[in-house]
Structure 1
Amino acid sequence: MAEIVIVGAGECGVRAAFTLRELGFQGSVTLLTAEKALPYERPPLSKTMLANPKAIRAEDAYPGAGIELRRGALVESLVPERREIHLADGTLLTYDQLLLATGARARLFPGLEGCLTLRTDVQARRIMLEFSSNARIGVIGGGFIGLELAATARQAGAEVTVIETAPRILGRAVPGAIAQIVHARHETAGVKILTGTGVTEAGTNRIVLANGIELEFDAVIAGVGAIPNTELAEKAGLLVDNGIVVDSAFRTSEPNIFAAGDCCNFEWRGARMRLESWKAAQDQGAHAAAAMLGASGEYQKVPWFWSDQFDLTLQVAGQFDLTRDIHHRAASGGVRIVFQCDQDARVSAAAGIGQGNTVARDMSVLEKLIERGTVVAASSLIDPDFRIKSLLK
C-alpha cells in the first residue's frame, strides 16, 4: 500500500493530509511534527492573549481520517535515493511520496540575538507574560508581526515603542496610503513609532539606535522577517534558493518529494516568490496533495494576507508593484480600498482597511477578479457607484 509522509504539521501540512483523504487516497498518511502540541493556528499568536493556542483540527479528527499524527517527531535527515526519513530518536520511516511543509523561523540579524521572537506557541506564551499594565515593550520591525504584537501589548496596557529602519511601516507589504492609516491608528492608541531609525544592537532589555541613543525596556521583541526552514532539503541535495524550489505541482528537484507553504519557492504568474501566509499555506497544501495523486494544472490561487490591529482589519490580495500607479476606490465609513492594474488592464492587486469586516465583501470580489485576470478600466473601479460584483457574472 502506498505511503505518504508529511514533515511539518502547521496549516500547510495538516491541510495536505486531510485533502489526501478527501480526494480518496487509501494508502497510509503519516504527519510528523517536532512540536509536542496538537497542531495549532499561528495567526492568533500575535493578535490575542490566548492561554492556549487554537487547534487546527480536533485531536480525534486525525485518527478519524486515518492520519497518523506523530508529535515530538524531530526529523534528522532524509535519504532520497532510498526514500528514507531518519528521526532524531533513531526511528526509520520510508515513503513513496514525501511532502516537506517545514515552514519558517524568525529571522535574527547579528546583534539581536537576545531579543524575543514569535513563531511558536511556546514563544507566544513567553512574550505574553511581558504584556502587562505599564510594562515597557520595545518592538524592532514595523511589519505585520511587529505591529500586531505592538497592538496586543498596548491593549494590555503596556507602553510600546516600534522601531522601523525603513522610511515607513509596512514598506514591502502595502501601498503608502494604507500604511498611513495603520500608523495613525497606532499613534492614536498611544504606540510610539520611530521610522527611518536603524538599530545597531539589542538585547533582553535594551535597544541601541544607530545614532547611539540607548533605550531601556522591560522586554524587546524582534519582528524582522523569517527564514525558510530548508536545512533538511539542503542536506538531502534538493535545489534551494530562498526556499525549496518547486515546480507548478510543488514538486522539488527530487521527483518523489514535494514542498509547500512558507518553506517553498514557487512560481506565480511568471515570477518566483516565497510567501508566509496562512491562506497560501492552506492553498498550497491542498494543491500539493492533489498533485501527489496525479492531478495536473497550474497553481492559480492569489496571494492573500490579513492583519488585525486594534479595531482595524487589513486585507491584501495579489502582489503590488509599488513603483507603478495605485488607484483609490472611493468608500465611506472609514473604509479605504486601493488597487492596481497591470499593463493589460487586468486587476493585479488590491488592499483594503476598515473596522471589523467592513472591507471583506469588496476584497473578496477583488480577489476573485485578480484570480480570473479580469480586464476592467481603472476609472470604473474608482467610481463608488460602480458595482464591482457585476464583473463576476
Structure 2
Amino acid sequence: MQKLVIAGGGQAGFALAAKARSLCPDSEITLICEEPDLPYQRPPLSKKYLRNEMAREQLYLRPEGYYTDQGITLIRGHSARKIDRDAKRLLLDNQAFAYDQLALTTGARPRRLPPAVGGDLPGVYYLRNVQDVDRMAPEFQAGRRVLVIGGGYIGLEAAAVAANSDLSVTLVEMAPRILQRVAAPETSDFFRTLHWTRGVDIREGIGLDRLERDKTITARFSDGTAQEVDFVIVGIGIEPNDALARDAGLPCDGGIVVDKYGRTSDRNIWAAGDCTRLPYRENMIRLESVQNAIDQAEAVAANMLGQETDYVPNPWFWSDQFDVKLQIAGLNTGYDRVVVRQAARGGQSNWYFQGERLLAVDAMNDPRGYMIGKRLIEAGRSPEQAQVSDPDADLKALL
C-alpha cells in the first residue's frame, strides 16, 4: 500500500489528495494543514468573504465528513518542520509520518513590510488567509480611512471592496503605474479610470518611507507628503513557502524547482501550486493562480502513482473589481504589441502579441473575447491583428 503524504492544505494540497484517492482507492493518504480550518478556497477572501457576502463554511472545499468518507487522514493546525529524506519521514511539530511519496503543496505567504518601516504596527494588515480577513473585517466601517499599499490585483480588489463599503481609500504604488508587473499600460489605464470614477485616490510612482502609530497611523511617502489613516492593507506580492524543501537540500530558485512531471530532484518528493517553479515553454516560471494549483496538483497526483505525463500549463486568471470582471488567458511575457478591442456595454479586451504570435488576452467585462482568445491560445493559433481590433468583425470567425 502506497503511503502518500501531502504537506500543505490549500487548493493544491486538496486537489492532489482528491485526485490521488480517485486514482488509487487503496493508497494511504495524509493531508497536513497548517491552519486549523478545513481546506478552503482563497479567491473569495478578498472579494465576497471580505464583503461579508459569504459565510466561512462556504469557503470550505468539502465538509469534514468528506475526508472521513474518502479515507484521507486530515491533520489540522500543525506545520511540517523537516524532511528526513534518508528515512523518508516528514516531521511535524508534534509527530512524524513515514512516506513512500511526499508532495509539497506549501503555497506562498504575503511579502511583508520591514518592521523598521512599521510593517508590524497594529492596524497594518496582510491578506492571505481567512484569519487575516477576520482580523481586518471590523475595520471596514463607513467613513474610515484606509491606505492600500500596492497596485497589483490584491491591492486593487481590497481597494474596491473598501470603496464599496463607503471608506475613504488611498492606494499608493511605487512603480510608475498600477499593474506594471503583470499587465500592459492599456489594462492599467482601464483600471485606473475605473477606480478613480469610484472615488479611490490612486497615487503612482510613490514609495512608502514609513508608518508611524499614535491614535491613528501616519504614512510618510517618498515625495515628502504624509497622510493620516485609520488602517493599512499591504498587498506587495507573495513569496513561495520553499524553506521546507530548501532545508532538505532540494533545489529552490524563487520556488521549489520541479520538472515537467512535478518531481523535485528527489524522485520520491514532488511539489505543486504557488510554491513551485516549473517549466513553461522555454522558461522556468512560477504561476500564482488557482487554475495552476488544481491542474498541476492533479497531474502530480497521477505521476506520483506511476504515470509519466507532462504537465503543460494553460494559464488563466481572474479578478473582480467593482462591477468589472477581469479574465486573463495566457501569459504576456515577451509581448511587443497590444491590440485593443472594444466590446459591448463598455467592455474591452487587450490582446498581447509577440510579432504575429498571440500570447495572452486581458478581457474586462468581455467574456466572449476571453473565451475565444483562450481557445486560440490553447490551440496555438494566432488571429489577424486587424480582425481583432475591428469591433465589427465577428470574433467567432477567428476560430
TM bracket, shorter-chain basis? over 0.9
Matched ranges for 1:101-116 at <5 A: 101-110=105-114, 111-114=117-120, 115-116=124-125
Matched ranges for 1:82-101 at <5 A: 82-89=87-94, 91-101=95-105
Query: What does residue 269 of structure 2 align with?
Result: 257
Q: 2:335 touches 2:359 (CA, 8 Å); kept in 1? A: no
- Percent of aligned positions with the same letter in both sequences? 39
Matched ranges for 1:237-316 at <5 A: 237-316=249-328
Q: Which amino acid aligns with 2:221?
A: L
Determine whether 1:39 maps to 2:51: no
Query: What does residue 70 of structure 1 align with?
Result: 75
Structure 1 residue 26: Cα displacement: 2.2
Structure 1 residue 342: Cα displacement: 3.3
Q: Which amino acid aligns with 2:316?
A: W
Structure 1 residue 122: Cα displacement: 0.6
What TM-score results when the alignment is normalised by the length of structure 1? 0.94
Q: Which amino acid aligns with 1:281?
A: A
Q: Point out the more displaced range, 254-263 or 46-55.
A: 46-55
Query: What does residue 319 of structure 1 align with?
Result: 331
Structure 1 residue 112: Cα displacement: 4.4
Q: 1:148 touches 1:308 (CA, 8 Å); kept in 2? A: yes
Q: Which amino acid aligns with 2:30?
A: T
Q: 1:38 touches 1:59 (CA, 8 Å); kept in 2? A: yes
Query: What does residue 220 of structure 2 align with?
Result: 208
| 3-state SS of 1:238 partner | coil
Q: Deviations over 1:234-283 (max 9, x none)?
A: 11111000000000011111111111111000111111111211111111
Structure 1 residues 187 and 322 mapped into 2: Cα distance closer, same or farther (>3 Å)? Answer: farther
Q: 2:258 touches 2:277 (CA, 8 Å); kept in 1? A: yes
Distance 1:250 1:6 in 2: 14
| 3-state SS of 1:81 partner | coil
Distance 1:386 1:290 in 2: 43
Query: What does residue 190 of structure 1 align with?
Result: 199
Query: What does residue 379 of structure 2 align with?
Result: 372
Q: Deviations over 1:83-111 (max 9, x none)?
A: 1011101x110111011000000001322
CA RMSD between the two structures: 1.7
Structure 1 residue 25: Cα displacement: 4.5
| 3-state SS of 1:261 partner | coil
Structure 1 residue 339: Cα displacement: 0.9
Structure 1 residue 299: Cα displacement: 2.1
Query: What does residue 169 of structure 2 align with?
Result: 160
Distance 1:220 1:367 in 2: 36
Q: Which amino acid aligns with 1:68?
A: T
Structure 1 residues 365 and 323 mapped into 2: Cα distance closer, same or farther (>3 Å)? Answer: closer
Q: Point out the more displaced range, 4-13 or 299-308.
A: 299-308
Match among 382, 389, 392 for residue 389 of structure 2: 382
Match among 120, 137, 156 for residue 129 of structure 2: 120
Q: 1:243 touches 1:264 (CA, 8 Å); kept in 2? A: yes
Q: Point out the more displaced range, 32-41 or 204-213.
A: 204-213
Q: Deviations over 1:170-205 (max 9, x none)?
A: 111122112212111111111111111111112562
Distance 1:112 1:62 in 2: 42
Q: Point out the more displaced range, 306-315 or 40-49.
A: 40-49
Distance 2:212 2:155 in 1: 16
Determine whether 1:141 maps to 2:146: no
| 3-state SS of 2:148 partner | strand
Query: What does residue 58 of structure 1 align with?
Result: 63
| 3-state SS of 1:119 partner | coil
- Unaligned 5+ runs, structure 1: none
Structure 1 residue 388: Cα displacement: 3.8
What TM-score results when the alignment is normalised by the length of structure 2? 0.92
- Unaligned 5+ runs, structure 2: none
| 3-state SS of 1:262 partner | coil
Q: Point out the more displaced range, 379-388 or 265-274.
A: 379-388
